[in-house]
Amino acid sequence: MRRTIYITIFAVVAAILILIFTATMITDWFWFGEVGYQSVFLTSLLSSLGLRIITGIFLFLIIYINLRITRRSLHTEPEIYEEDENVIPIRRYVADRIFDAKKLNILFLAVSILLALLFSSAASNNWLMVQQFLNKASFGIKEPIFNLDASFYIFTLPFLRMLYSFLFIGILLSIFAAGASYFLFGAREFLNWRDNQINQPKVHLSILLALLFLLKAFDYILDGFGLLNKPGGVVYGPGYTDVNVLLLAYRVLAVIAVAAAVAVLINIFLKKFRYVIYTVISLIVVSILLGNVAPYAVQKIRVEPNELAVESPYIKNNMELTRKAYNIDQIRLETFEASTLDMADIQENPGTIQNIRLWDPEPLQNANTQLQEIRPYYSFLDVDIDRYTINGQLRQVMISARELTKNQLDQNAQTWVNQKLRYTHGYGLTMNFVASATSEGHPHYVVKDIPPESEDITVEVPQIYFGQAEDDYVIVNTTTEEFDYPSTTGNVSTTYTGKGGIPVSNIFTRALFALRFGDYRMLISNALTDDSRIIFRTNINERIQRIAPFLVYDRDPYLVVDDGRLFWIQDAYTTSRNFPYSTPVGGMGNYIRNSVKVVVDAYNGDVTFYADLENDPIVRSYAGIFPKLFKPWEQIPDGLVPHLRYPEDLFNVQAEIYKTYHMEDVRDFYNKEDVWTIPQEIFAGETITMQPYYTIMTLPGEGENPEFVLMLPFTPAKKNNMAAWLAVRCDPEHYGDAIVFQFSKQELVYGPNQVEAEIQADSEISQAISLWSQRGSEVIRGNLLVIPINDGIIYVEPLFLQSEQNKLPSLKRVIVFHNGELAWAETLGEALAKLFAAGEDTRTGLIDDGAPGDGEDDAGVEEKGDEDMAPELESLDELINRANQLFRQAKERQKNGDWAGYGEALSELESVLERMANQ
């Protein structure tokens, strides 16, 4: 009775699991149809299933055939053992229960099927490796040891290793299965292995063992190729000892393994079992001597006393192929003089100055939370940086999507109807200029509020059904109205009109999704109609990765407004761990390309993969496997092309490698003469490593037009002065072009850590920070930015005040630094004016002109040039009035980006203030 209950429970559980698995597969098929990639789903499924079937059949056949071979010499009659006093008990036990051919065949079939299923399931996970081997593409880059194209190491060698492992397991399982059969079922010859008679067990197992030795010889050959990715030497990849000793060892071991296979076969006929023993011992001894002792001796005696001379060719190999693997061989090197700047240089570069980022992502996200979330169920999960042409000028902006976080709904409102049918999407975004603030020190928004308000950017479809919020499913087009956005007159509702989602118009489809999500309520809800659609995988990361899990994705997808609609752009990488001679970077392998841009429609959920098929063999291989997955890079919509960015994760990897591999001389590289490092900065009171940052600037020697770049400074290892800065261009006509501007080694250029120390040591700044902190505010020192202007460098660091109660930060001061001189003020323009135009005393004093970017109304105040200045003013009242007028004039010109006029007004203001002081 109890056994029947257990069987029933097991059957019910198995049936439920099968139903859930089936429902998941079918709904996945529906979902891939929704996004338009059912061919990808089919290719992945059939490749995995096909490989499992092929490997399963092969393993079954090789094991079963070998077991069948043993059948001819087995004794299964129990009475045979009754006469033999030396029979092992387990053999008698087996023979007593399995003594006829039918039972034995069933046992052989069961064992073969079980082992085939068990090991073929692991092999099926390698389907992509097999497909890449079948669709390999040439790199056009050959390594210098075997003169083979890099594609051999990336596509062919992994496949051959997998093939070896699979064959080795098949032969090994056959040996164990056949040996167990001979032993358990009484092949007397099996117990007399040293007998000089030729018998079936000896012949059979000898052939299998010989095959095993031949496979091991094949493995040694593969190990020789594997040296191209060997760690642990003076550089990554093979060095002198590896090429001249270890490679020879693998070849000798391969020969000995073949000899061992021959010796095993000869032993069948010559009855010289000692030959087998000798070859096996030789294999072990040579493996130890040539594989360990000889390399150690050569390394100590030949290499280490003359390491640079001996290893130079191999170091050069590593340097060249590492640079190619990370594409840093394309970086152009320029000299940067770092001369002294003046106000004229500032005025000549308004495109750079008005786009210096003062708002850091963390303070801005806190400000957005306090000022723009509007309702508790909205959240700003990220801050992205991009550029837009606004009023005819290229302006750098920061963008945040206002996403729906349903777990922030009131506890009583977290019903199934609200979470699945009513609250279905986020709404709108914020966009602010990076370099300005309101009179209260808050962000200067270009797009804000609900519905989105903007004079410059049109947002016609602000609904965000697909974003970065936690993945969930919702059902649209039901009898329950969807919440769209809150208003002063009540909540506004909407109906989804996009093409996203899967129809759930019949009970069968609803039952499938109910099983998938474990939610019976969609089966019984009266709110669903024939037009209802279920939307799931709303998180863009999960959505993209489910389609193409073989790509590596950047951590920072970003939102773009194009033609009134919202799109997400996600950078994707092709990577490999097998590029020959290339030094790996943790987590990314030793080869990387940003060959894919993924675009997701925030309203419809459409996912489009755009690939650079010309310059990356790995993505060409993927395109061969999935012909309908990628569209050519050239088909990226025109409205999105100006918003493409060079991705930060790739930049970080390249910068990490370039710190060492910028050196081109082998001797310098070996001695680490000029290793760079990424400098430290102080942010919010903590010392952190500087991160790359986007900015708009005019690159030295690259024309007069400002452009969007990603940049990062370098300092020498264990030193704090600046060595160079790396910039990668992002605008379409120069996308991906990288330039390193290197400073002279004979001249000191302040590095970020030194500038932070100067700021820390400034008495006025320290006193002000202490005073603000005592008043219950948290003082946040923002990111320090290095800003190249013409042939000089300025540093800019924002300073925020944040109430400890409401966590609303305000931009309080801007600190600027140049050539040992420091100034700070309430706006960037004022700080620059103090630094470059305030005479000798540039380190102290504040201009009391209100909060940053207060945008006073200067109506009625005429802008005046030099010819309108009035040095003849004598009255103190007139001077005061003129000073106030010039101050407002300067503020208005700063707001409009008229830096030349701004400087003129400040110069005249300085003159007037001096005259006032002399009154």
User: Per-residue pLDDT averaged across 745-768, rounded?
Assistant: 91
- What are phi and psi for residue 619, nearest 5 degrees? -70, -30
Q: If you search the block for the tokens 């092969």, which residue do you land on?
A: 58
Q: What is the pLDDT of residue 429?
A: 96
Cis ω before 557 (30° cut-off from 0): no
- What are phi and psi for residue 648, nearest 5 degrees? -70, -40
Question: From CA 677, how far away is CA 723, in angstroms rounded?
Answer: 9
Q: Is the pLDDT of residue 882 over 60?
A: yes
Q: How does residue 272 score in pLDDT terms, banded at 50, 70 and 90?
A: low
Spatial neighbors of 500 by CB under 8 A, at least 6 apart, are 34, 465, 466, 533, 535, 603, 604, 605, 606
Q: Is residue 485 within 8 Å of residue 450, measured between CB atoms? A: yes
- The pLDDT tens digits for 549-563 are 999 999 999 999 999
Q: Is the pLDDT of residue 770 over 70?
A: yes
Q: Is the pLDDT of residue 191 over 80?
A: no
Q: What is the pLDDT of residue 871?
A: 36
Q: What is the pLDDT of residue 197?
A: 60
User: Per-residue pLDDT averaged across 485-489, rounded?
Assistant: 88
Q: Is the pLDDT of residue 864 over 60?
A: no
User: Per-residue pLDDT averaged across 366-382, rounded?
Assistant: 93
For residue 845 the two structure tokens come to: 């004093």
Q: Is the pLDDT of residue 672 over 50?
A: yes
Q: Is the pLDDT of residue 848 over 60?
A: no
Is residue 13 exposed (0-12), middle (13-18) or buried (19+ Cβ within 10 Å)? exposed
Q: How does residue 858 score in pLDDT terms, banded at 50, 70 and 90?
A: very low
For residue 182 the two structure tokens come to: 């001979």
Residue 434 neighbours by CB distance under 10 Å = 23
Q: Is the pLDDT of residue 1 over 70?
A: no
DSSP 42-108: HHHHHHHHHHHHHHHHHHHHHHHHHHHHHHTT----HHHHHT-TT--HHHHHHHHH--SHHHHHHHH
Is residue 782 exposed (0-12), middle (13-18) or buried (19+ Cβ within 10 Å)? buried
Q: Is the pLDDT of residue 857 over 50?
A: no
User: Per-residue pLDDT averaged across 16-27, rounded?
Assistant: 92
What is the Cα 728 distance to its own chain's centre? 18
Q: Is the pLDDT of residue 843 over 50?
A: no
The residue length of the chain stands at 919
Of 262, 166, 246, nearest to 211 (Cα)?
A: 262
Amino acid identity, residue 383?
V
- What are phi and psi for residue 417, nearest 5 degrees? -60, -45
CA angle 454-458-463, nearest 5°?
A: 100
Q: What is the pLDDT of residue 867?
A: 32
Q: How does residue 887 score in pLDDT terms, banded at 50, 70 and 90?
A: confident
User: Per-residue pLDDT averaged across 836-856, rounded?
Assistant: 40
Question: From CA 187, how far away is CA 70, in angstroms rounded?
Answer: 9
Q: Is residue 37 within 8 Å of residue 628, measured between CB atoms? A: yes
User: Per-residue pLDDT averaged across 189-217, rounded?
Assistant: 77
Mode of pairing for the β-strands spanning 332-336 and 738-743: parallel
Task: Name the β-bridge partners of 533.
Answer: 476, 503
User: Per-residue pLDDT averaged across 352-373, rounded?
Assistant: 94
Helices (H), 289-375: 294-298, 307-325, 343-347, 350-353, 361-372
Q: Is residue 398 within 8 Å of residue 432, measured between CB atoms? A: yes
Lowest-pLDDT choice from 6-15, 52-61, 518-527, 686-695: 6-15
Q: What is the pLDDT of residue 222?
A: 97
Q: How does residue 97 score in pLDDT terms, banded at 50, 70 and 90?
A: low
- What are phi and psi for residue 73, nearest 5 degrees? -115, 15
Q: What is the pLDDT of residue 862?
A: 34
Q: Is residue 118 within 8 Å of residue 34, measured between CB atoms? A: no
Q: How does residue 194 score in pLDDT terms, banded at 50, 70 and 90?
A: low
CA angle 508-513-515, nearest 5°?
A: 95
Of 821, 324, 287, nearest to 593 (Cα)?
A: 324
For residue 684 the two structure tokens come to: 């919010």
Q: What is the pLDDT of residue 526?
A: 93
Q: Is the pLDDT of residue 509 over 90?
A: yes
Whole-model pTM: value is 0.86
Spatial neighbors of 300 by CB under 8 A, at least 6 apart, are none
Residue 866 neighbours by CB distance under 10 Å = 8
Task: Name the β-bridge partners of 575.
Answer: 592
User: Per-residue pLDDT averaged across 170-176, rounded?
Assistant: 93
Q: Is the pLDDT of residue 195 over 90?
A: no
Q: What is the pLDDT of residue 919?
A: 60
Furthest-apart CA atoms within the chain: distance in Å: 136
Lowest-pLDDT choice from 49-58, 260-269, 555-564, 712-721: 260-269
What share of the chain has pLDDT > 90, as a percent? 68
Q: Is residue 438 within 8 Å of residue 853, measured between CB atoms? A: yes
Q: Is the pLDDT of residue 602 over 50?
A: yes
Tell me if residue 422 falls in helix, strand or coil: helix
Residue 736 neighbours by CB distance under 10 Å = 15
For residue 195 the two structure tokens come to: 């007998």
The beta strands (E) that lie in 774-834 are given as 777-781, 785-789, 792-803, 809-818, 821-825
Q: What is the pLDDT of residue 73?
A: 66
Q: Is the pLDDT of residue 852 over 90?
A: no
User: Per-residue pLDDT averaged across 260-284, rounded?
Assistant: 80
- What are phi and psi for residue 825, nearest 5 degrees? -160, -175
For residue 378, CA distances in Å to 3, 428, 469, 737 come to 55, 10, 10, 39
Q: What is the pLDDT of residue 308?
A: 95
Q: What is the pLDDT of residue 551?
A: 97
Give the chain's end-to-end CA distance (angstroms, integer): 112
Q: Is residue 743 within 8 Å of residue 715, measured between CB atoms? A: no
Q: What is the pLDDT of residue 895?
A: 63
For residue 21, CA distances in Å to 28, 119, 511, 613 come to 10, 22, 13, 36
For residue 662, CA distances in Å to 516, 592, 717 come to 53, 18, 13
What is the gyration radius of the CA atoms in the chain, in angstroms?
36
Question: From CA 630, how far away is CA 613, in angstroms rounded?
Answer: 9
Q: What is the pLDDT of residue 213?
A: 94
Mean pLDDT across the chain: 87
Lowest-pLDDT choice from 170-184, 316-330, 778-792: 170-184
Q: How does residue 906 score in pLDDT terms, banded at 50, 70 and 90?
A: confident
Of 93, 91, 61, 52, nearest to 74 (Cα)?
A: 91
Give the residue with greater pLDDT, 841 vs 566.
566
User: Per-residue pLDDT averaged across 844-870, rounded?
Assistant: 33
